[in-house]
Amino acid sequence: MSLRRRPQLSFPDVASLEGPLLEVEDLHTSFRTARGVVRAVDGVSFTLARGRTLGVVGESGSGKTVLGRSIMGLLPGANVERSGTVRFSGHDLTAMSLAELREVWGMQVAMVFQDPMTALNPVVRVGRQITESLRLRAGLDRKGAQETAVALMQSVGIPDPVRRLRSYPHELSGGMRQRVMIAISLACGPKLLLADEPTTGLDVTVQAQILDLLATQQRERHMGMILVTHDLGVVANRTDDIAVMYAGRIVERAPTVELFAHTRMPYTEALMRSIPRIADPSHTRLRAIPGRPPDLAAEAQGCRFAPRCPYVQDRCRAEEPPLRTAGQDHVFRCWYPVGSPEGADALARNVTAMVPAALAFTGTRVRDVAVAPDGARAPA
């Protein structure tokens, strides 16, 4: 059985592609909920060239998963509003009908989901889950699809693939399941891969294998890749550019080396400082960021990071900073950026004024008090 119709869209041969592979312009995605309108993605723009990897870093509630799904158009039908443009290989994905999108999904743009146990169908054998898209989209016959599936499984490092075709997901380990997910996503040879937290929940040695695998596949197929994660360590070595998200917006975007060398946005800096490093001596005091990410349903005024920012000043609470440039391809959102004289000034003023975020940031010993949006002490 094949759903293959005459393709409605034509995608240019990638070698002849002019311009970026993916262009996202002012993407907004909001959900209507009982609590109000939750602006999960609040004005995101970026471009991605073929063969490059973009890391999207953010915590829970930053909008990074919704961003990936908005780009692909994998959103619920009801109570969702999406605006902005997503141009892939010359086509506007946001203007496509479902039929047209079906030609894009899997074939041109593919996604690796976060939790393989829930993303894979538990009652269908793994082999069939891989051959499914090969038969439906690529129109292969049963034998051809099986052979391709076996070769795919080999290329993602699944041992004994012929036997594994007949396994169910629960019979495989976490690492194996994620490899199956990657095989499914690569089956039809997409040009863009969106990997949404592909290694969260996996052991660190398996994580390293999976990331190596993704990097190799990307290099061989010359794909564009977007790696969405909360782990700065994962993106530090495997991405060309990094976009840091907070409260639905990109707050800093730069080439990877530049981001780590010349961080500008205080949130990025605070995030880097709060991670325990293996090289630090034991019992190093961690520079935790007090408070919690903001409620996306609440009305925003000023910079969304202000309640937790060590550099915060009055202007930050009143006016939201726009994206500004700091050198080659490096944009950020801050009035008092890291490494600037006004930033250093602001931090010093805050430490004197005993602003909790500044005290926590500079390592002054204070109990980790949560800071509510209005600055008063509140439950964490």
Partner 1 sequence: MAGSGTAHMRGGDVLLRAEHLVVEFGSGGHRVQAVSDVSFDVAPGETLGLVGESGCGKSTTGRAVALVHTPDSGTVTFDGTDLTALSARELRRARTKVQMVFQDPISSLNPRRRVLDAVIDPLSVWGIGTKEERRAKARATLDAVGIDPDSAGGRRPIEMSGGQCQRVSIARSLMLDPTVLICDEPVSALDVSVQAQILNLLHDLKRDRGLTMVFIAHDLAVVKNVSDRVAVMYLGKLCEVAPPDTLYHRPQHPYTEALLTSIPEPDPASARNGAAPLSGDLPSPINPPSGCRFRTRCPYAQQTCADEEPQMRAMGPDHFVACHFPLGSQGPGQAADGPPSQIAATPSAPPPPPPPSPAVAPPPPPWQQPPAPQSAVPPSPPDEPSERPPLWLNP
**Which residue, chain included where needed, has tokens 């999207």?**
56
The strand pairing partners of 111, in sequence order, are 194
Size of the residue set binding partner 1 (CB under 8 A): 82
SS3 content of the chain, % helix, strand, coil (to 5): 35, 20, 45
Is residue 203 close enough to count as binding partner 1 by CB under 8 A?
yes
Q: Give DSSP secondary structure letters for 173-229.
A: -HHHHHHHHHHHHHTT--SEEEEESTTTTS-HHHHHHHHHHHHHHHHHHT-EEEEEE
Is residue 34 close enough to count as binding partner 1 by CB under 8 A?
no
Residue nearer to partner 1 on the CB measure, 264 or 292: 292
How far is CA 233 from its chain centroid? 14
Q: Which of 9, 206, 297, 298 binds partner 1 (CB under 8 A)?
A: 206
Q: How many CA atoms lie within 13 A of 150 on its CB side?
A: 10
Q: Could you give the CA distance from residue 162 to residue 146 in angstroms, rounded to a whole number?
A: 9
* Closest distance of CB 294 from partner 1, Å: 12
Q: Could you give the CA distance from residue 166 to residue 38 in angstroms, rounded to a whole number?
A: 42
Q: Could you give the CA distance from residue 158 to residue 331 in angstroms, rounded to a whole number?
A: 40
Residues 286-315 that bind partner 1 (CB under 8 A): 286-290, 292
* Closest distance of CB 151 from partner 1, Å: 6
Contact range with partner 1 by CB under 8 A, out of 22-30, 94-102, 118-126, 197-205: 197-205
Is residue 77 close enough to count as binding partner 1 by CB under 8 A?
no
Contact range with partner 1 by CB under 8 A, out of 18-26, 318-326, 334-342, 369-377: 369-377
Contact range with partner 1 by CB under 8 A, out of 4-12, 82-90, 216-224, 327-335: 216-224
CB 31 within 8 A of CB 40: yes
Is residue 211 close enough to count as binding partner 1 by CB under 8 A?
yes
Q: Which of 1, 3, 6, 13 binds partner 1 (CB under 8 A)?
A: 13
Is residue 277 close enough to count as binding partner 1 by CB under 8 A?
yes
* Closest distance of CB 41 from partner 1, Å: 19
Amino acid in the structure at residue 126: V
CB 222 within 8 A of CB 195: no
Contact range with partner 1 by CB under 8 A, out of 39-47, 93-101, 185-193, 329-337: 185-193
* Closest distance of CB 116 from partner 1, Å: 14
CB 219 within 8 A of CB 235: no
Residues 339-368 that bind partner 1 (CB under 8 A): 367-368
Element (H, E) at 92: strand 91-92
Residues 84-143 that bind partner 1 (CB under 8 A): 134, 138, 140
Residues 157-176 that bind partner 1 (CB under 8 A): 157-159, 173-176
Is residue 4 close enough to count as binding partner 1 by CB under 8 A?
no
